[in-house]
Amino acid sequence: MSIRVLLADDQALLRGTFRLLLDSCADMEVVGEAADGQEAMDLARAHHPDVVLMDIRMPGTDGLAATAAICADPELTGTRVLVLTTFETEEYVAQALRFGASGFLGKYVTTDTLLAGIRTVAAGEALLSPGATRALITRFLAAPAPGALLTSPERLADLTPREREVTALAARGRSNAEIAAELVLSVLTVRTHIQRAMTKLAARDRAQLVVIAYQTGLVRLPG
């Protein structure tokens, strides 16, 4: 079954380039193109894509507002948002992750990285392992937004000790394979612990699980 992708970017040329690339892949299909956040929300509700490739800076309703609306829509629980950004928009990406986005990529990544990112997000994983993303988490997600409160540690009460351990390692940017090697477990067992933790914490995906880990204090800033 093809991964159904919605493209949301105000640059028609860039959308066209992405469409040509994705349509050339046997396992992907572009189901729509949006030039702003409102159109992205409307098309997401109409087509129920697997992945929305979302630009942040768009006229009118921007990508952050669209991400929040899509991720909060109970009719779109199967839709993941992959944010496209540039170096200057790291803070906005952190906010997008809080809103439920499954990860982010730089806007001018290689074609292989883009395609791999879409497949990763479609599979329910999050793009949280690269060093740049670890720095992003450390800088923004470990602290609440101004005026916000951290989530109570009691939210973790239903997790088993192993689920807490695996969640903490995931929050530090470890991949499933790295966690398995560190804890001497199979990758399948790690995936099961991650899935159970996500279910207990009502996390949409791995990205939200990581956010919860920082907000509850399960993982803290060094020093």
3-state secondary structure of 165: helix
Q: Are 200 and 90 in contact (CB under 8 A)?
A: no
pLDDT of residue 44: 97
pLDDT of residue 211: 78
| Strand arrangement of the beta sheet that strand 103-106 belongs to | 28-34, 3-8, 51-55, 80-85, 103-106
In DSSP terms, 82 is beta-bridged to: 53, 103
Alpha-carbon span 101 to 219, nearest angstrom: 20
| pLDDT tens, N- to C-terminus, the chain (223 residues) | 899 999 999 999 999 999 999 999 999 999 999 999 999 999 999 999 999 999 988 989 999 999 999 999 999 999 999 988 775 455 676 777 778 888 878 777 789 888 988 998 888 776 654 444 555 555 555 555 554 545 778 889 999 999 999 999 988 877 788 899 999 999 899 989 999 999 999 887 777 788 788 888 888 765 4
Alpha-carbon span 27 to 35, nearest angstrom: 24
* Portions of the chain given CATH number 3.40.50.2300: 3-127
Class for the domain spanning 153-215: mainly alpha
Which of 35, 71, 89 minimizes the C-alpha distance to 202? 71
pLDDT of residue 134: 54
* Portions of the chain given CATH number 1.10.10.10: 153-215
Say whether domain 3-127 belongs to CATH 3.30.365.10.
no
